Amino acid sequence: MRKRPEPGLLTVKTKGNGMLSFSREIGKNRVLYLMMLPSLAFFAIFAYAPLVGLYYAFINFNFIGGLFGSPFVGLKNFEFLFFGGAHAVVWRLTLNTVLYNLAFIFIGNGLQCFTAIILNDIRGRIYKRTTQSIMLLPYFVSFVIVGAIAYSIFNFELGSLNSVLKVFGIKPVNVYMLPSVWKYILVFFNTWKGLGYGTIIYLAAIMGIDREMYEASELDGCNIFQQIRYITLPLLKPTFIMLVLFSLGGIMRGQFDLFYQLIGNNGILFNATDILDTYIYRSLVINFNVSTGTAAGLYQSLFGFAAVMIVNAIIRKINKENALF
C-alpha cells in the first residue's frame, strides 16, 4: 500500500519503474509535461529524426531508389573523400576548418580580453559608452552586409583599396584572385564582427573582481600597469581559459556565414579558404551530391563530438563545476 502523503508535503515523487508508474508520473504532472511537449516534438522532429538520414552516407544515392532503395556501398563514400586522389578534399577542408577556428578563437578572445581591460580602466565614462556602442554594431548586421563591405573594398575595378593604391602609384591587385591574403581578411572580419560582443563578456568578468584589491594595491603605491599585471590578468585567466576551451569544443564547426558571404563560389580561393561547412553546402545546393555531402557531414559531426568530449574532460580536470556534464 502506498503511504498517504503527509499534510504540507506538496511535492511527491512517484516511486518505482514500469508502465504504471510512468503513466502515474505523467498524469500527476500532466500540465508540466504538456508544457514541454512542443519543444520535445521540435527536437524529436528536427534533430533526432534526421539521424536516420545518416544512412545516406553509406549508399550511392539515386532518385529512383531514394533512401532505402539505392544500392548500399559501405564505406565507399568515405574512401572517396579521404583517398580519392583529386577528390580527397577532406584533409584540406579539415585543416582549414581547424586552423581558421584556432585563429578565430585565440585572436578573438585575446583582443576581446585586451579591449575589455582597457575599456574598464580608462577614464571618461561617455567615451567608454560610445566606444562600446560602436564596437557592438558589427555584431548586429548580417554577414550579407559584411560581404557587401568586402566587395566595396576589394573589388578589382571598383573597390576602394585599388583606388587608394592608384593614388600612390601602386598597381591595383585583384584580391579575389589572391588566395594567400584571405586568411588575414577572414580573421579580420571574424574578429571585427565579434569584438563588441566578446568584450562585454570579459567586462562582466572584470566587474566581478573585488574592488578592494585594487584599492589596497593603490595604497601600496601600484600604478595602473602593475594593477593590470598583478590583479586583473591573473584573475581573468580562469575566465579566458574557460571561454577558449568552450569555443575549442566547436572546432570542427566552421563559421559558414562568414566564409560563404566573403568567398562565395570563387573556386580559385577554395584551396586556401574552403571549410567543411561550405563544402557540404555546395554539395547540396550546387551538385546535389547527397551521398558525399552526408558522408562529409557525418565525419564532421563525429569528430566534433569527439572534440567536445575531450574538451569537457579537460575542463573537468581544471574546474569540476564548470564542466558541461
Which 138-197 residues touch another protein, going by CB under 8 A?
138, 140-145, 147-149, 151-153, 155, 157-160, 162-163, 192, 195-197
**Interface with another protein includes 54 (CB under 8 A)?**
yes
Q: Mask: binding to another protein, 68-87, rule CB under 8 A, as x and -?
A: --------------------
Q: Give the interface size with another protein as a residue count (CB under 8 A).
A: 100
Cα separation of 294 and 284, whole Å? 9
Q: Does 290 bind another protein (CB under 8 A)?
A: yes
Distance in angstroms (rounded) separating the CA atoms of residues 57 and 254: 21
313 binds another protein (CB under 8 A): no
Helices marked H in 44-168 — which ranges?
Answer: 66-69, 76-83, 90-121, 125-140, 143-154, 160-167
One residue of 72, 83, 184, 305 binding another protein per CB under 8 A: 305
* Least separation in angstroms between CB 271 and another protein: 22
Distance CA 254, CA 243 (A): 17
Which among 81-89, 91-99, 177-185, 301-309 is the span making contact with another protein, rule CB under 8 A? Answer: 301-309
Q: Between residues 85 and 321, which has the closer beta carbon with respect to another protein?
A: 321
Tell me what percent of the chain is helix, strand and coil, each rounded to the nearest 5: 75, 0, 25
Phi/psi of residue 285, nearest 5 degrees: -80, -35
Distance CA 239, CA 242 (A): 5
Q: Which stretch binds another protein (CB under 8 A): 82-90, 102-110, 173-181, 275-283?
A: 275-283
Cα 195 to the center of its chain, rounded Å = 14
For another protein, the binding residues in 229-268 under the rule CB under 8 A are 256-257, 261, 264
Count of C-beta atoms within a 10 Å radius of residue 216: 12
